[in-house]
């Protein structure tokens, strides 16, 4: 179905409760509703926003178009949690109902200030000629959870030299100064990040463009983030317009980082190479926060723009990833599922075996929703790995190619096809003697953490509900493995 502009900009307040119920019913009939991921009650979810800890709780907002699986008028939807794994739907946080956000309350971030949680976001507006005018706005949440929007933007114009693609403020505080990075496009249509500073979250000064060595690297950088981890600075952003190169950059848009240091006084980021954050098919626009115990935790959007998904026909699209803890070890960014996820573990099953050029299954070692950790050792096989969500016609394959030294995720036969125009296999280099795969499988997704977070593959998959099998295999040689699986429950 083609959505008209009028339909895309319809407000949730304009539809009747019956219409919303009909949409919710259609959503609930979807075979692919997730069980332990944050997903929209109806409509489309995209970027995580305002990820923070405030007043004893984690707050995680997201971009939401309530009325269908398309990018229409965006609201901020609010979820909260005390442990990062059990999330409560709170409701709409920011309504795009003012002149300064009339065409969408776009992405942004949150920070505590004077006992309130300040939400800084982009107000997307369009004039009568449909020309975009972005504003950077503030909404303030108090201790009772009441959110009040400020009626004037705190940044009311785009500085000279940049186009109207100017959005997604990410705020942090250093000493007594607030800083915000904003995703931008230069007038020569290349992407970049600009820096602002403020003493009070209200008065913002343009500090200039964040200088770096990436040169012309895509046409727009969305959703920047900057944080320190293990004493080093990490600049994360989502560049658009990067061409595929070898195993890299096969999704429509990328999300990645450079490690180094941002000198806020000279607006200069000294850094190493750009790396993708995730090797899977569906990961974009991540945002991080610092937990009260100092951990740096990141959540991404498990989806991409401009790609049709099989859930569209049920009136909803996308979910958020699980929270991951970020560290830098030996100069490498590592990502591990947060330890709180153990709270979700249910029934445990363990298996181990030797594979001699064969594929094996175990009775009742199967499932559609589970956590699985598997380690392979004593390998002389050319490739080995696991297949999951298996039926006679479907399988999702995760393997290590010991000859090419690559990890491969293959969703060619995963079920209902998605984004096949961007290929059905993702792979990345990994030079390792031992290989550990840690999987979180939900009804329609998989997140694979490889070798304690050295690499991550995040992907939606859309298998039939009868595809429950798990198989272990070794090709052209032998491999021993041990595996632990948990059901994932309440």
Footprint on this chain of ligand FRU (rule: CB under 6 A) = 46-47, 63, 74, 106-107, 122, 167-168, 222-223, 285, 305
Backbone phi, then psi, for 472, in 5-degree steps?
-110, 140
C-alpha separations of 99 from 62, 64, 106, 139, 472 in Å:
21, 19, 14, 14, 57
Minimum CB separation of residue 238 from ligand FRU in Å reads: 7
Closer CB to ligand FRU, 106 or 135, in the complex: 106
- The rounded distance, in Å, linking the Cα atoms of 98 and 96 is 6
Longest dimension (CA), the chain: 69
Active-site residue, selected from the candidate residues 47, 101, 225, 442:
47
Minimum CB separation of residue 310 from ligand FRU in Å reads: 20
Nearest to 185 by CA among 213, 137, 218, 150: 218
Nearest to 360 by CA among 440, 478, 462, 466: 478
Closer CB to ligand FRU, 167 or 460, in the complex: 167
DSSP string, 282-318: S-EEEEEEE-TTS-EEEEEEES-TT---GGGGGTEE-
Residue 39 sits at the vertex; the CA angle it makes with 36 and 40, to the nearest 5 degrees, is: 150
- The rounded distance, in Å, linking the Cα atoms of 269 and 214 is 10
* Tokens coding 468: 């429950």
Query: Could you tell me how many residues make up the chain?
Result: 490
Closer CB to ligand FRU, 155 or 441, in the complex: 155
Closer CB to ligand FRU, 104 or 415, in the complex: 104
Beta bridge partners of 197: 179, 205
Closer CB to ligand FRU, 73 or 470, in the complex: 73
Minimum CB separation of residue 411 from ligand FRU in Å reads: 22
Minimum CB separation of residue 303 from ligand FRU in Å reads: 9
| 47 counts as catalytic | yes
Minimum CB separation of residue 46 from ligand FRU in Å reads: 5
Backbone phi, then psi, for 343, in 5-degree steps?
-60, -20
Q: Which residues participate in catalysis according to the annotation?
A: 47
């Amino acid at each position: 179905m083609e959505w008209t502009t009028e339909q895309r900009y319809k407000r949730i307040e304009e539809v009747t409760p019956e219409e919303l119920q009909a949409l919710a019913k259609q959503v609930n009939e979807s075979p692919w509703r997730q069980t332990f991921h944050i997903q929209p009650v109806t409509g489309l979810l995209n970027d995580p926003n305002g990820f923070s800890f405030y007043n004893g709780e984690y707050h995680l907002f997201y971009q939401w178009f309530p009325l269908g699986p398309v990018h229409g008028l965006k609201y901020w939807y609010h979820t909260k949690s005390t442990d990062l794994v059990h999330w409560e739907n709170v409701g709409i946080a920011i309504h795009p109902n003012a002149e300064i956000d009339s065409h969408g309350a776009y992405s942004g971030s949150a920070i505590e200030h004077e006992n309130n949680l300040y939400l800084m976001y982009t107000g997307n507006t369009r004039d009568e000629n449909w020309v975009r005018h972005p504003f950077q706005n503030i909404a303030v949440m108090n201790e009772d959870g009441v959110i009040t929007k400020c009626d004037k933007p705190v940044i009311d114009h785009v500085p000279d030299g940049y186009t109207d693609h100017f959005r997604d403020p990410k705020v942090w505080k250093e000493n007594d100064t607030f800083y915000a990075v904003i995703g931008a496009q230069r007038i020569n249509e290349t992407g970049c990040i600009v820096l602002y500073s403020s003493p009070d979250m209200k008065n913002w000064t343009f500090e200039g463009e964040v200088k770096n060595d990436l040169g012309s690297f895509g046409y727009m950088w969305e959703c920047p983030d900057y944080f320190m981890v293990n004493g080093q600075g990490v600049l994360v952003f989502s560049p658009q317009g990067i061409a595929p190169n070898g195993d890299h950059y096969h999704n429509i848009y990328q999300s990645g980082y450079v490690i180094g240091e941002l000198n806020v006084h000279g607006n200069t980021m000294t850094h190493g190479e750009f790396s993708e954050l995730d090797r899977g098919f569906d990961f974009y626009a991540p945002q991080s926060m610092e937990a009260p115990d100092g951990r740096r935790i990141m959540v991404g959007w498990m989806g991409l723009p401009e790609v049709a998904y099989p859930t569209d026909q049920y009136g909803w699209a996308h979910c958020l990833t699980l929270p991951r803890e970020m560290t830098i070890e030996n100069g490498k960014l590592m990502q591990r599922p947060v330890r709180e996820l153990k709270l979700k573990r249910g029934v445990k099953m363990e298996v181990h075996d030797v594979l001699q050029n064969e594929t094996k299954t175990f009775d009742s070692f199967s499932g559609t929703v589970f956590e699985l950790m598997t380690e392979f050792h004593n390998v002389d096989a050319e490739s080995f790995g696991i297949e999951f969500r298996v039926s006679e016609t479907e399988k999702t394959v995760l393997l290590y190619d010991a000859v090419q030294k690559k990890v491969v995720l293959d969703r060619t036969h995963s079920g209902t096809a998605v984004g096949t125009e961007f290929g059905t296999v993702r792979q990345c280099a990994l030079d390792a003697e031992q290989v550990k795969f840690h999987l979180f499988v939900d009804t329609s997704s998989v997140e694979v953490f490889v070798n304690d977070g050295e690499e991550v593959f995040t992907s939606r998959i859309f298998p039939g509900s009868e595809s429950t099998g798990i198989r272990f295999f070794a090709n052209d040689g032998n491999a021993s493995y041990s595996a632990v699986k948990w059901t994932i429950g309440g």
